[in-house]
Structure 1
Amino acid sequence: MFRIFSTLLISSSLLVAQDFTKEVAKNDDVSFIDPSDGYFDVSSFLDHPYGFIPIVNPITEPAIGEGLALIPMFVSRPEGQHRPNFTALGAMKTNNGTKGFFGGYSGYFFDEQLRITAGATSTSLNLDFYGFGAYDLLDGRSLHYNLDIVGGLLGAEWRIKDSKWYIGARYLYGEVDAQLQNQHDFHLLPNGTFLRGIGRQDTLSSILFELTHDTRDNVFTPLDGHFAELSLLWNDELIGATESFQRLTTSYYFYQPIVENTLFFGIKSEAKHNMGDSPFYALPSVQLRGAPRTRYQGTTVAYSESELRWQFHPRWSVLGFGGVGASWGKNSQFDDANTTFTGGTGLRYLLAKDHSMHVGVDLAYGEEGPAVYIQFGSAWSRP
């Protein structure tokens, strides 16, 4: 049964490269079977210069509907380098009209002292706006709006000597056009309500400063260590932005083996606070499996999710997770938070043992109903 299911699960991401990988295997020392256990494994393929994962990823995010993303992801880890380099190109489309193209790069230089990141996108998102925090601005309804985004980012991160501390900065630029999908929906807003950013094109021009402490044993599916980060985003008219606002973010991810090689615990906690004249779509939202991405939005958000994974087989594992999140409006008190609870279960397969890369599926449930997520690596991915 496990082998049958592994074939169904993995074929969604690797079938499009079937002919290519057969030719590679004929001409190079590449095997897609791990000789130690006889199971499917892509480690030796990824370790070649042309190694990549042709991800065909179903999209089931409730905020944008159901669809498909095609993402060839090239992974390389030069000899002696602990962290891998990534290059990805992709396209996606969903049944609510959302579509887009994107690309990204993350690579290390000078013995992993320097990491460079870059990305670009042209995307059209169809989303729903529900209000801020517990303030029911729309009386239980939502505004359907579209975001057309063209932009990119360029950043650098420097490791402080030989420590686990990193300091970095990124520049982000975007042209964003926010329009209601139905102009008659303006009547849903209370009289005199001004929704900053709707019905116009904005320029986002931001510098993001980051201070990070990272002791994770790997970036794909961490088993031990932690990731802690404090960041400040500064979007300002002085550097070409339409509006001036700031966002302070604290993140902490913790991973701990409970029973060696068998039981693993993890927890993610984040808090974000916006200051200044932020467009409504740039306000943070609760990010939990089972909560639509824009459903719990506010000037301030905080959320935490824990996960327990049981590696009951050398290749297979099951997990359970649960989370809680809250959002506040600009003038809300702590007791006025819009709170949500989520939970679910998942199944994982160890696709690349040498890289500790697990893939699988999560079934989550929140107050808006069930949701399914396809996962490559950790659900809390941080390169």
Structure 2
Amino acid sequence: MSQWLLKHKGALLVPIIITEPAVGTGGGLAAVFFHRPAQSEESKERGERLPPDIYGIGAFKTENGTWGTGLGGSFHFDDDSWRYAGLAGKASVNLDFYTQGTLLEPRKIGYNLDGIFSYQQVSRRFGRSDWFASARWIYMDLDSRLNLQSDNQYFKPKDFAQRASGLGLGLSYDSRDNTLTPSKGVLWRLEGTAYAPAFGSDNTFQTYRTHIYDYIPFASSCVLGLRADLRSARGDVPFYQLPSIDLRGISYGRYQDQNVGMLEAELRWNLNPRWALLGFGGAGKAWGRSINFGDASTRTTEGVGFRYLMARALGLYVGLDFARSQDDHAFYIQVGSAWR
């Protein structure tokens, strides 16, 4: 598979099998291409191994009428001194928004988002270190509609902003041995994005995120992954851009608020050079608008899975995860790491 993907310009056809509780079951297909970037002789002499360029196109549809199509990729230039990542597409998504409060039970409000989206980011390495600085542009032009007009009482007019256009900066540290399925190293990122009319946005607001993934090999055949993730939003944030607890086993958007924090651990046991078993668990909180951190409930998840090393030269594992929480359960087909 490595030879086919890297030397013969073959595509990895990835089935998109969706069991996400937020949108129901569904499927689609993605064609993903891999290419080894040009590498200088100096870089080869230093023993550096450059990450592959990855790009592709895909489409999907689910039973609740959600559909989407898009293309994107990540590329490395000048011995990985520069990195570019981009994504663009069109989608129509049917989701549920849950009101949060300490006195009343959460209310589920159905809504639809229909429109286009784009994400563009350029990163620059500091010398030959593992540190990067980045700049990004995020653009969305989405028509948001509630299934029941009577639910408008739970929102402000600015919650339905159509265009969100933001410029952001970031700082990151990346010492992972592999960007697809790491076995050792650390990825840390700090990023903030400002949305304002001057950038083409209807509302003025800011989003922030910092997260760290640490991969620790031990006992010759095991890898322990640790994840901490904090996200927040301030200003006139459209309701659908509020951060959400992002853990396997929890429906997307089920727990949204101004602030979201998550912890997760994953243990991979390599049975042999090709096959591995996984166990994972996590916890998260959402708070800020009407619930403070102390009053917010802790949502936990747990799950198991397996991995198969499909492309040895790329270090690319694929597999299946099953996860559950207090409210949901789901299967996930994984290509590479489950953490994004």
TM-score (norm 2): 0.93
Q: Among the aligned pairs, what percent are the same residue?
A: 37
What amino acid sits opposite 1:250 in the alignment? T
SS at match of 2:3: helix
Counterpart position of 1:121: 89
1:350 — aligned with what?
Answer: 309
Structure 1 residue 201 displacement after superposition: 5.2
Q: Does residue 1:247 correspond to 2:211, yes or no?
A: no
Map 1:77-156 → 2, pairs under 5 A: 77-78=36-37, 80=39, 82-132=50-100, 134-135=101-102, 139-156=105-122
Q: Is the 8 A contact 1:227 1:253 kept in 2?
A: yes
Partner-residue secondary structure (3-state), 1:243:
coil
Question: In structure 1, what is the equivalent of residue 146 of structure 2?
Answer: 180
Contact 2:51 2:178 in 1 (8 A): yes
Change (3 A) 1:177 1:229: same
Name the larger-Rg structure: 1
2:45 paired residue number:
none
SS state at 2:214 partner: strand
Structure 1 pair 325/110, CA: closer, same or farther in 2 (3 Å)?
A: same
Residue 257 in structure 1 maps to residue 223 in structure 2: no
The CA deviation at 1:100 is 1.0
Q: Which moved more, 1:337-346 or 1:78-87?
A: 78-87
Measured after TM superposition, the shift of residue 69 of structure 1 is 2.4
User: 1:38: which partner in 2?
Assistant: none
Task: Provide closer, same or farther for how the CA distance between residues 292 and 175 of structure 1 changes in structure 2, counting only shifts above 3 A.
Answer: same
SS where residue 188 of structure 2 aligns? strand
User: Is the 1:361–1:375 contact (alpha carbons within 8 Å) kept by the matching residues of 2?
Assistant: yes
User: Aligned pair in 2 of structure 1 residues 321, 212: CA closer, same or farther (>3 Å)?
Assistant: same
Question: 2:44 maps to what in 1?
Answer: none
Residue 291 of structure 1: how far off its partner (Å): 0.7
* 2:252 counterpart residue number: 293
Map 1:290-369; keep pairs closer than 5 Å: 290-369=249-328
The structure with the greater share of residues assigned to strand is: 2
More helix by share: 1
Are 1:371 and 2:337 an aligned pair? no
Q: Is the 8 A contact 1:252 1:268 kept in 2?
A: yes
Decide whether aligned partners of structure 1 residues 361 and 196 sit closer, same or farther in structure 2, where only a CA change above 3 A counts: farther
Asked if structure 2 preserves the Cα contact closer than 8 Å seen for 1:128 and 1:294, the reply is yes
1:216 aligns with 2:176: yes
The 1:329/1:196 distance shift into structure 2, 3 A limit, reads farther
Match of 1:227 in 2: 187
Alignment partners' CA distance in 1, 2:237 and 2:121 = 23
The structural deviation recorded for 1:196 is 4.9
Shift of 1:79: 5.5
SS of equivalent to 2:313: helix
Residue 298 of structure 2 aligns to a residue in which SS?
strand
Q: How much does 1:117 deviate? A: 2.0
Count of aligned residue pairs for this structure pair: 331
Cα pair 2:2 2:312 within 8 Å, conserved: yes
Which secondary structure does the structure 1 equivalent of 2:162 belong to? strand
- How far did residue 70 of structure 1 move? 1.0
Matched, 1:164 2:130: yes
Q: Which residue identity does 1:333 align to in structure 2?
A: N
Q: Secondary structure at the match of 1:47?
A: helix
Secondary structure of the structure 2 residue equivalent to 1:238: helix
Secondary structure at the aligned position of 1:281 is classed as helix
Please give the alpha-carbon distance, in whole angstroms, between the structure 1 residues aligned to 2:139 and 2:38: 35
Equivalents in 2 of 1:88, 1:338: separation in Å? 39
Stretches of structure 1 lacking an aligned partner (at least 5 in a row): 1-41
For 2:301 and 2:99, the matched residues in 1 are separated by 20
SS class of match (1:44): helix
Q: Distance in 2 between matches of 1:136 and 1:147?
A: 29
Deviations 1:80-104 (A, max 9, x none): 4511111111111000110011110
Q: What value does the CA root-mean-square deviation take over the aligned residues?
A: 1.6
Shift of 1:44: 0.8
Question: Cα offset for 1:312?
Answer: 1.2
For the 8 Å contact 2:161–2:238, the answer to whether it is kept is no
Deviations 1:331-361 (A, max 9, x none): 5322121320000100111111111111110
Shift in alpha-carbon separation, 1:318–1:274, aligned structure 2, 3 A? same
- Partner secondary structure for residue 46 of structure 1: helix
* 1:338 alignment partner, SS class: coil
- Return the offset for 1:247: 1.2
Compared CA separation, residues 196 and 296, structure 1 to 2 (3 A) = farther
Query: Does the C-alpha gap of structure 1 residues 147 and 338 become closer, same or farther in structure 2, counting only changes over 3 Å?
Result: farther
TM superposition score normalised by structure 1: 0.83
What letter is aligned with 2:238?
P
Unaligned runs of 5+ in 2: 40-48
Q: Which moved more, 1:62-71 or 1:280-289?
A: 62-71
CA distance in 1, matches of 2:297, 2:142: 27
Deviation at 1:288, TM superposition (A): 0.3
